[in-house]
Every structure is written in C-alpha cells, then in structure tokens.
Amino acid sequence: MKTALTIAGSDSSGGAGIQADIKTMITNGVYAMSAVTALTAQNTTGVTGIMDVTGDFLKQQLDAVFTDIYPDAVKIGMVSQSELIEAIAEKLKEYKAKNIVVDPVMVATSGAKLISDEAIDTLKEKLLPMADVITPNIPEGEVLSDRKIESPDDMVTAAKAIFEKYGCAVLLKGGHAMNDANDLLYTEEGPQWFYGKKIDNPNTHGTGCTLSSAIASNLAKGMSMKDAVEKGKEYISLALGAMLNLGAGSGPMNHGFAVTTDWEVTK
C-alpha cells in the first residue's frame, strides 16, 4: 500500500485540516499519517482558538514518521509560525521527501487568519522552492505573485509568475472567486486548464485541504501531475456533490462518499 503524510493543523470540527486530509487519503486508497502543527478550536462558523506545537515537537513527529513508515507523498497545510516552517524544511531535506504538495493556507473560509505575516515570508523563502506543486486559491495567489487576479487571463499571468519565482508547478484554484470551478495548472509545459462545473453547495469548508490531499494521494500512487490533478478534481466534485449539510456555517463535505458500510466479517 502506498503511503502519504499530512503536516497540518487539526480542525476539531473535522471538515478541514488533518481530519479532512486523512479522510481524503483513506478514500483515495493510500495509508495516511500525520504530523500536527497546531490544534484549532474550530467549527463550521469559525475558529475560536489556535495552539501551535513547538518546533522541536514537530521535528520529533517527523523523525518518528520518516524513520519508520516512509511516505510516498507529503502534503503540507496550515503552518502558522516561521519556526515550524523551518522545522519542516529541515526535516524534508534531511529525509529527501518526495512528491511534496504545499497548500499555502492563509485564511480560513470562515475568515480566520491562519498564518502570521512573518511566516508568509519564511514559507516563500524555505518551503515553496522545495515543493513539487503548490495549490494557492485566488487570494493566496495574489499574495504569492504580488498582483491582482480578476480574470482567467490574470490567473495565467499570476501562475506563470509564481512558477518562475519558486520553480515548482502551480495549481491556481478558481473555485471560490471566479464563476466556474476552473483551476489552472502551470508547469514547465505551460498553462493547462482543468474545467469543473460549479456545484451549488455553500458547504465548502475544507475544499483546499481536500484537493491538495487528493493530489498528494494520487502522486503517491505514481500518477503524473496532470493525472493527479484531474483525478483530485473529480474526487472533490463528488465529495461536494454528495451534498452533506452539517453545522450552522459553511459545512464540511462528505469525504467518504465512496466508502461502503456494506461489508461483513467472513467466518
């Protein structure tokens, strides 16, 4: 069985962060592991508290994982402090991690800021150059490219700028901001659009976490970047389309739409 590691924050409501990542990885057929960067007290209406782990403890978790069950892919999500980003960069280099997917999480759907300004600089300097692919949404793409993104043409210009600056593939997600759920992948082969039908579902908590984990799972299984993105997008469309409706705010998706309860113990 292929294996994947998520390095991210815990979402107590289970729709985003580590919990979304693990549900996604299981449903996509890989063995899921985690290194927790922070605990959040969070539900579908907002984040009420964040408690970061220490850099040393994050390193301990990464040592424990990499020295025992080596991950075939690594997904990185919420990391709010520079010290933690530095710890991740150091350990990924030490263990020669492969298939690194960075979701540069900055602001939650509910509006809470999930990264310090100083950490954004460290992310740019230390982590993005190590990534195989980064998956910014439109506001994150604006921060990383230093330009406004207001049209599909702007998305191409921004993704190219990010690709050239950090030397990694860029999946710029149109999901929240543009009319359709069209995402742009920029690689050394240039731009490629992945078209998606916008699903009329307000429950989009954790869509970014979920897509990046699906891509990491697909890379772990040996897919090309294009196939990993295409299949990842299919997965998120089905999870959103399952129309789960939980909580008072922007609710979670049904990550386990393909999981069956129709099993029995054979005697």
Ligand X SMILES: Cc1ncc(COP(=O)(O)O)c(N)n1
- 196 makes contact with ligand ATP (CB under 6 A): yes
Active site residue 77: no
Those residues whose C-beta lies under 8 Å from the C-beta of residue 228, and which sit 6 or more positions away, are 215, 218, 219
Per the annotation, the verdict on 98 as an active-site residue is no
Q: Kind and range of the H or E element at 101?
A: strand 100-102
Q: Which of residues 185-224 bind ligand X (CB under 6 A)?
A: 205-209
- Give, for 207, the enclosing helix (H) or strand (E): helix 207-220
Regarding 162 and contact with ligand ATP (CB under 6 A), the answer is no
- Does residue 157 have an active-site annotation? no
Asked about 40 being catalytic, the answer comes back as no
The 8-class DSSP code of residue 73 comes to E
* Among ligand X, ligand ATP, none, residue 176 binds (CB under 5-8 Å by kind): ligand ATP
Q: CB 93 → ligand ATP: shortest distance, Å?
A: 26
Binding flag, residue 2, ligand ATP (CB under 6 A): no
Q: Please give the C-alpha separations between residue 165 and each of 23, 124, 146, 171, 184, in angstroms, as whole numbers.
A: 33, 9, 11, 14, 17
Q: Which of 105, 158, 181, 184 binds ligand X (CB under 6 A)?
A: 105
Near ligand ATP in 97-126, by CB under 6 A: 109
Interaction residues for ligand ATP, span 8-47 (CB under 6 A): 16
209 is catalytic: yes
Task: Note if 109 is an active site residue.
Answer: no
Which helix (H) or strand (E) is 214 found in, with range?
Answer: helix 207-220
Residue 14 binds ligand X, judged by CB under 6 A: no
Cβ atoms of 92 and 130 closer than 8 Å: yes
H/E stretch holding 74 reads strand 73-76
Phi, psi of 190 (to 5 degrees): 100, -165
Q: Which does 40 bind (CB under 5 to 8 A by kind): ligand X, ligand ATP, none?
A: ligand X
Residue 106 backbone phi and psi in degrees, to 5: -120, -50
| Active-site annotation, residues | 173, 204, 206-209
Interface positions with ligand ATP (CB under 6 A): 16, 109, 137, 173-176, 181, 183, 196, 198-199, 201, 204, 206-209, 211, 233, 236-237, 240
